[in-house]
Amino acid sequence: MNKKILISILVVVVSTAGLTYFLLRANQPKEYLLTESNGTIYRISADGKEIKKLEENRNGKLHVFSFSPDGKKILFSYRPFIKSHATSIWIMNSDGSSKEKLIDTIGDGFEDAFFSKDGQKILFRTVINKNLGSPESSLNIYSLWMMNSDGSNIKKLIDGTKGSVENVIFSPNGKKILLLINDTAPNKTLQKIQDLDYYSLWIMDADGNNKKNLGIRVKGYIWDISFSPDGEKILFIDRNQQRGTLWIMDSDG
């Protein structure tokens, strides 16, 4: 990749279109996807020589979620500036054609969305803002859902009101899903907002079945989770009172 060319393009785009939101990479084909805070999505080639506007909407905010595993599809959301209108998840071809709405708002909106390893399913998290009794005190509760890549067969996998789903990743072979659950968030009160939370790790099949608690419950918070490249090990970092500890365990707990 010609970094100088890519950086030059980014400077031009940012100076003319506004604040850059984030940059997302597609593996096949090797491209970059750039979204702008003013509601414009751009695709930039890996060598930095090609830039194409894929989608623009001046009446709301666009947010890119992910490429499909083959790089041919893009998941993104549209949030209108008029709050009474629904936020929605959309899919389009990587060249910006064939845009299709998959689903409208569940709860307060969508946190993220991504494809399964085979591209047949889409996992997405929804968020509900829980008010704790004052305008300055609230927290987000996340639920996990699954649907087919065409938007059909929508089902809830994890109810955030029973344990907020803070992070979710597929195993390298795509057969398992690792979950980071905040056990205490749903029961938080204004009086207990400063209390440390308890986090736990769960694993389930890629279709959402056979949920299993891995027996890890950390007081404080788990900072990050990941699989080893072969999927046989799980790594995570727990933090408690500014001190972090790195752990490794078998993927069955």
pTM of the predicted model, to two decimals?
A: 0.82
Helix (H) or strand (E) holding 224: strand 212-227
Which homologous superfamily is 106-253 in? TolB, C-terminal domain (2.120.10.30)
CA distance 85 to 61: 12
Task: Write out the two tokens for 232.
Answer: 């046989």
pLDDT of res. 7 = 42
| pLDDT 10s digits, 186-199 | 777 665 666 678 89
CA distance 245 to 247: 7
Proportion of the chain in helix, strand, coil states, percent, rounded to 5: 10, 55, 35
pLDDT of res. 190 = 60
Among residues of the chain, what percentage have pLDDT more than 70? 80
| pLDDT 10s digits, 101-154 | 999 988 778 889 999 999 999 999 998 887 777 666 778 889 999 999 999 999
CATH 2.120.10.30-classified regions of the chain: 1-105, 106-253
What's the CATH class of domain 1-105? mainly beta
